[in-house]
Structure 1
Amino acid sequence: MGEAISDRDVVRALRPFVRATGPVLDALREVNLLGLRDRSLEASADRKVVDKLWDQLARVKVPGTAGWAAMDLDQRDEWWLNRVGRVVSLLAAIPGVGGALADRLPIQSSLGAAGQGLLLSALAGERGITATEDRVRLIAHVLFQREVDGRAVDPDEDRRTAELTEELDRSTFKAIGRTIWKLARVLWSLEDELDKRPHGRFYHQALGALPVVGVVGDYLGERSGLRRVRKAAYEWFGAQ
């Protein structure tokens, strides 16, 4: 049996994780929709047609658009829940995105916990909670049922954070995917603590144990777990 995991161990793992979630969430937001803002108009372009196109794009409900600005907090939370859930589930279905990391990590626990941590950081951001120590406290409380201080304990934190986000200079799904795999590896260092995180219902786990259709049970279980994470986060926000 390994040594017991201390609160200090939890904080040491979560601080670079939390700091790295910022750039990952920025990448998932797709603010520059389709890259059109970076394209110059040809002289022959019909300005009215282009303006209409931008008006239509502005109504799309993603961060950085007028449609997003018009959404209330619950709608934004739901958007993040769906975005994080779908991306992490897709990564779990395509182990090749993680390269060699996929061979070393149990997909369900590590990726599920990484997705839940990403969702918590997104929910915190929508409420103006930006301090690393506060987000560490939130994730430790919801995923591991621990009340921690959250302040820095590792002088090597900056280097570890940089290593987690080094591939995000390329805005591709593969780069985002490999970064999330790295986040999963960070949380896997907490070993048995992952068993404490919110999971799906018992019937999701039963379905997940079946051949062929098990992937459906796993997917539905993780989606259910994310909704439980959101509910627990709301309780934490209300208590602060």
Structure 2
Amino acid sequence: MDDRTVVAALDRAVAIIDPVLDVLAERDPVGLKARTFRKPTANDTAIDTMLDTLAKTLNATDFPGTAAWLELDAQARSQWWVMRIGALNTVAVAFPSVFGVLVNRLPLQDLLGFANQAMVLVAVARENGVVDRPAHVSMLASVLCGREVGLDTAEPDSSPAPGRECGPFALLHAMWDVATVLRDVSGELAKRPRSRGIYRVLSAIPLVGGVASYVGERGALSRAAKQGLGWVHANVESPSHVSSKGASRMTRGPQ
């Protein structure tokens, strides 16, 4: 498979991932993020008190756009995506292994695992100021496919990205969409950081396979994130690829 085929598929994946990350970082449909900056007043109603309680709960998770998020540095924000969002998506990646070796023979787990790692790697790059799409594609090609394609290889699709939902399943839907566009490069999927050998063996055992697969995939995701951050530091130094907006777009206070 040539580089251009891989780059084209990864570019379509990034086109899906970026809008979803924007939604998570910037949307505040019920105003809970804004409330994390609010001080209670004597005129508060019972509804205000309830909403403030919900806002405090959200703030305790350090969710992007909250007051707590603004206190995090780039390293902590990067780790948030690995530990919080990556962990959630990994449940979907690991679930097929509950059925044992039969499902493990299908490409579904590698597709979802690759998509999950791609989403987290792009989020980590953005938190470190890298917002250039060709840079994202080159990073994914290097870390997940072992291909050094250069920052000028990608030919981004200029068509507008579709609107994205902001509900609790937005990430899972996006991961499935990314997995769908990656079917064209199925031969590249096994090149991503994968579970250690012992976890792959245990994942073939019915019932306990899901737990083993989850632990293994979490470890693989952490290694992928570290490699992605290493790629950013080693390869993306030009101002044309690094922007201060990369962090600020995800650390806004109330508008």
What's 1:21 paired with? Answer: 17
Deviation at 1:210, TM superposition (A): 0.9
Distance 2:208 2:51 in 1: 47
Matched position secondary structure for 1:26: helix
Residue segments in structure 1 that go unaligned for 5+ positions in a row: 96-104
Q: Report the residue type matching 1:201 in the other structure.
A: R
Kindly indicate whether the alpha-carbon contact (under 8 Å) linking 1:11 and 1:150 is maintained by their aligned counterparts in 2: no
Residues 77, 177 of structure 1: alpha-carbon distance in 2 compared, 3 angstrom cutoff: same
Deviation at 1:178, TM superposition (A): 2.5
Q: How many aligned positions are there?
A: 219
Cα RMSD, aligned residues only: 3.3
What does 1:66-81 align with in structure 2 at a 5 Å threshold? Answer: 66-81=67-82
Deviation at 1:183, TM superposition (A): 0.4
Deviation at 1:35, TM superposition (A): 3.8
Deviation at 1:237, TM superposition (A): 2.3
Kindly indicate whether the alpha-carbon contact (under 8 Å) linking 2:89 and 2:171 is maintained by their aligned counterparts in 1: no
What's 1:86 paired with? Answer: 87
Large movers: runs of 4+ above 2 Å: 26-39, 43-60, 83-87, 89-95, 149-155, 170-179
Distance 1:45 1:194 in 2: 53
TM-score with structure 1 setting the length: 0.77
Residue segments in structure 2 that go unaligned for 5+ positions in a row: 36-42, 97-105, 236-255
Distance 1:30 1:83 in 2: 17
Higher relative contact order (CA 8 A, sep 6+): 2
Residues 153, 76 of structure 1: alpha-carbon distance in 2 compared, 3 angstrom cutoff: closer
Identify which range, 110-119 or 213-222, moves more after superposition.
213-222
TM-score with structure 2 setting the length: 0.73
Structure richer in helix, relative to its length: 1
Residues 211, 123 of structure 1: alpha-carbon distance in 2 compared, 3 angstrom cutoff: same
What does 1:36-51 align with in structure 2 at a 5 Å threshold? Answer: 36=32, 45=45
Percent identity (aligned): 35
Q: Report the residue type matching 1:8 in the other structure.
A: R
Residues 136, 109 of structure 1: alpha-carbon distance in 2 compared, 3 angstrom cutoff: same
